[in-house]
Amino acid sequence: MILHEFMSYEVLRVIWWLLIGVLLIAFALTDGFDMGVGALLPFVAREDAERRVVINTVGPVWEGNQAWFILGGGAIFAAWPPLYAISFSGFYLAMFLILAALILRPVAFKYRSKREDPAWRARWDWALFISGTVPPLLFGVAVGNVLLGAPFHLTEDLHSIYEGGAFGKLFGLLRPFALLCGVVSVAMLVAHGAGWLVLKTEGAIQQRARSFGSKAALVAMIGYALAGLWLAFGIEGYVFVSEPLHDGPSNPLLSEVVRQGSWLAAYGTRPWIILAPVMGFVGMAMAMRALRESRGDLSPLMWSQMGIFGMISSVGLTMFPFILPSNSNPDSSLTVWDASSSHMTLFVMLVASVIFLPLILLYTAWVYRVLWGKVTTDEVSDPDKHAY
């Protein structure tokens, strides 16, 4: 009886909402510093040897880090099919650009060192910059559009209709608030990448990373604060007209939703969630301080991780239980209570996650333990130690 109560449909839905958040935050914390390093590459490395040092700090780990993105996408597909269908089709062109940029990264890694021509290598360095800047920018824009509401509606047979046309699916996303969220996303990952470079490099590269990273952390905090004020005074939230059935069928049209008030009203009903934005501000502020004052090699990375965790989790906690609101038909909005897979599917997936997720974490920890240490100019000149 106790197990049945714990594994009720309602509880499983909340567990999978949390797990999706964990997977996406894990992607930001790991592959986030890879992208941040790529965005910093043209600015922290002035000559070819320095650029090779920067590239080799992430070369051995980026593939494993990117696996969290695949896990997150797969989990959304299996646990929240309507969310996967509407978001991936509605944000199709933006998602295509993200994937193209992510594909560009390994190509740049592999081809950069094939020729010693400086112009050839410079072009691939800028390709790495693009692959490190475009994904976080568009991820942030996507988050901003989720908070604003996406232009879709569901028919009576739950067929989703995304409005705006093909070009609207890209340029329609570039709304001012969404662009601000994109800037925050890029800035916080650049600060995170700077923290990684402080940990993995030394000398001039490390000092430049500290300089650029501290500025990026400041931009992230200012942008995050502006976004919060914008949410408080310029963007309506979503609320249920009456309490939905938490363990009912996955049919959003069974609930009545309206736009009113502010997203930040959630802090009045669930005051404890204030911990998330506090962690975001404190983490980024301490990362900026650690970068500016040269406080250890590990502390900037750890503080930036805290900041990213707080900033991203604050979005999910503020919106709960909404996961993809509709601004054209609020009743079509997807929520935790009406957009999941079946009870059995969620339970089987949870059992698999309990078995395999700890193994992934242990393996990841072992890899980072093996690769611990700084990358130096002398080491990258040895082809037996570094491939890039």
| pLDDT value of position 152 | 87
Q: In this structure, are strands 334-335 and 152-154 parallel, antiparallel, or unpaired?
A: unpaired
Q: Compute CA 216 distance to the chain's CA centroid, rounded to the nearest angstrom.
A: 17
| pLDDT value of position 5 | 53
Place of tokens 């090779």: 52
Residues 6+ apart with CB under 8 A from 95: 88
Residues 6+ apart with CB under 8 A from 28: 189, 308, 312
| pLDDT value of position 161 | 82
Cβ 177 vs Cβ 345: under 8 Å: no
| pLDDT value of position 164 | 65
Give the chain's radius of gyration (CA, Å). Answer: 22
Q: CB neighbours (10 Å) of residue 67? A: 15
State the pTM of this model.
0.92
| pLDDT value of position 86 | 87
DSSP state of 385: T
| pLDDT value of position 1 | 44
Cα-based distances in Å from 263 to 146, 153, 193, 266, 355: 12, 21, 30, 6, 36
Cα-based distances in Å from 379 to 56, 158, 196, 237, 388: 10, 58, 18, 53, 11
Angle at 319 between CA 313 and CA 323, to 5 degrees: 95
Two tokens at 318?
A: 């503020």
| pLDDT value of position 27 | 93
- Give me the average pLDDT of each 10-residue run along the chain (388 residues): 66 94 93 94 91 90 86 90 86 87 91 87 93 95 92 86 66 88 97 95 93 96 96 92 88 91 92 96 96 84 96 96 92 93 91 90 88 82 67
Distance CA 69, CA 103 (A): 13
Angle at 28 between CA 193 and CA 232, to 5 degrees: 105
